[in-house]
Structure 1
Amino acid sequence: MIEIKDLHKSYTSGSSKLHVLKGINFNVGQGELVAIMGSSGSGKSTLLNILGILDEADTGSYNLDGVPIKNLNETIASRYRNKFLGFVYQSFNLIGYKSALDNVALPLYYQGIKHSERNDQAMSYLEKVGLASHAHHLPSELSGGQKQRVAIARALASHPKVLLADEPTGALDTKTSYEVMELIQGINDEGKTILIVTHEPDIAAMCKRNVVLKDGLIIDDVMINQQRASSYV
């Protein structure tokens, strides 16, 4: 599903150059649930931005579901993001003046799906995350855990090949974090490929594979005995 070979990325600041990724080799197969870990400055956010087609590497190759991700203009990059990827963020990134239903339906609008059909699809995903009864609530009327469930429903609505989650439990208390991870594990059990950036060992333990970055390199990449979130909820 994801194939990365010898990926390098540098940023220039004034007269200095910061080499952030120093030769990343990384493959992810269909249906994996992978935690990407590392301290601040390790390169995990840069790697996630490249995986999310929000930034581009200087050298190396990135193939997503067999499609080379290279030298894309913003129109094509946006089309690929909408086609291949779903995003979940720590800060939820919901539109405050739109209902939960409208937030979930938004990616379908950009796919050109007619109003009634996208609302039906959005409602089905709210049902999937247990929030059909909150379809017409604004984000301000939802708890943190409910907001993240809406964000997950929105990420799934466009039927992405890969779900990218950037610290999805970072703004949540422990109990709510485990409830969100139980939902994510259930989605993965259905076959969805999911990558989670996290600095929390207990969240990483609920994935199936842990990849650790340090100073722009992968220093560890292991399959683990997954802990089920349901045993903690």
Structure 2
Amino acid sequence: MIEIKDLHKSYQMGSNSLHVLKGINFNVSEGEMVSIMGSSGSGKSTLLNILGMLDEADEGSYTLDGKPIKKLNEKVAAKYRNQFLGFIFQSFNLINYKSALDNVAMPLYYQGVKRAERTDKALHYLEKVGLAEWATHLPNELSGGQKQRVAIARALASDPKVLLADEPTGALDTKTSYGVMELIQGINDEGKTIIVVTHEDDIAHMTKRIVNLKDGVILDDSVVSQVRAVANAQNQ
């Protein structure tokens, strides 16, 4: 599903060049649930931005579902993002003046889906995350956990190949975090490929594989015994 080969990325900082990614090799198979861990400055956000087609590597290759991702103009990059990727952010990134339903339907609008079908699909995914009765509510009427569930429903609405979750529990308390991870694990159980960027060890162990980054290189890439979020929540 994802193939990264010898990826390098540097940023110009005044007269100096900061080498952020230093030859990353990284593959993700369809249906995997992988976490990327690393402290601030490790390169994990840069790697996620490249995976999300929000930035481009200087060297190396990135292939997504058989398509090489290189030198895309913004129109094509936006099309591929909408076709292949669903994003879940720490800060939810909901549109404050739109209802939960309209937020979830937004990716479908950009895909040219007609209003009636957009509404039906958005309601379906809100129901999937347990928020159908909150469809008409604005984000400021929702709790943090509910906002993240709306964001997950929005990410799923366009039926992406891969979900990219950037610190999806970073703004949530522990109990709510485990509830969100239980939902994400369920989505993975249905076959969706998921990559979670996190700095939280307990959240990483709720995935099935942990990739540790430090100073732009992969220190360790290990399959782990997945901790089920529902069991963890019950122990709180």
The whole-number CA distance in structure 2 between the counterparts of 1:165 and 1:150 is 13
Tell me if 1:55 matches 2:17.
no
Residue 78 of structure 1 and its aligned partner are, at CA, apart by: 0.3
Residue 13 of structure 1 and its aligned partner are, at CA, apart by: 1.2
Mapping 1:55-94, distance limit 5 Å: 55-94=55-94
The whole-number CA distance in structure 1 between the counterparts of 2:59 and 2:35 is 24
Q: CA RMSD in A?
A: 0.4
Aligned counterpart, 1:2: 2
- Whichever residue aligns with residue 149 of structure 2, its letter is R
Q: TM-score scaled by structure 1?
A: 1.00
Aligned counterpart, 1:224: 224
- Unaligned regions of 5+ residues in structure 2, if any? none
Mapping 1:1-233, distance limit 5 Å: 1-233=1-233
Query: % of aligned pairs identical?
Result: 77
The whole-number CA distance in structure 1 between the counterparts of 2:152 and 2:128 is 10
Secondary structure of the equivalent of 1:221? Answer: strand
The whole-number CA distance in structure 1 between the counterparts of 2:232 and 2:76 is 42
- 1:143-164 Cα offsets, whole Å, 9 max, x none, are 0000000000000000000000
Secondary structure of the equivalent of 2:196? Answer: strand
The whole-number CA distance in structure 2 between the counterparts of 1:68 and 1:53 is 11
- Whichever residue aligns with residue 42 of structure 1, its letter is S
What number of residue pairs does the alignment pair up? 233
- Whichever residue aligns with residue 182 of structure 1, its letter is E
The whole-number CA distance in structure 1 between the counterparts of 2:91 and 2:228 is 24
The whole-number CA distance in structure 1 between the counterparts of 2:101 and 2:129 is 12
Secondary structure of the equivalent of 1:232? Answer: helix
- Whichever residue aligns with residue 18 of structure 2, its letter is L
The whole-number CA distance in structure 1 between the counterparts of 2:75 and 2:81 is 10
- Whichever residue aligns with residue 56 of structure 1, its letter is E
- Unaligned regions of 5+ residues in structure 1, if any? none
Secondary structure of the equivalent of 1:130? Answer: coil
Secondary structure of the equivalent of 2:127? Answer: helix
- 1:111-169 Cα offsets, whole Å, 9 max, x none, are 00000110000000000000000000000000000000000000000000000000000
- Whichever residue aligns with residue 155 of structure 2, its letter is A
Secondary structure of the equivalent of 2:106? Answer: helix
Secondary structure of the equivalent of 1:36? Answer: strand
Residue 232 of structure 1 and its aligned partner are, at CA, apart by: 2.1
- Whichever residue aligns with residue 70 of structure 1, its letter is K
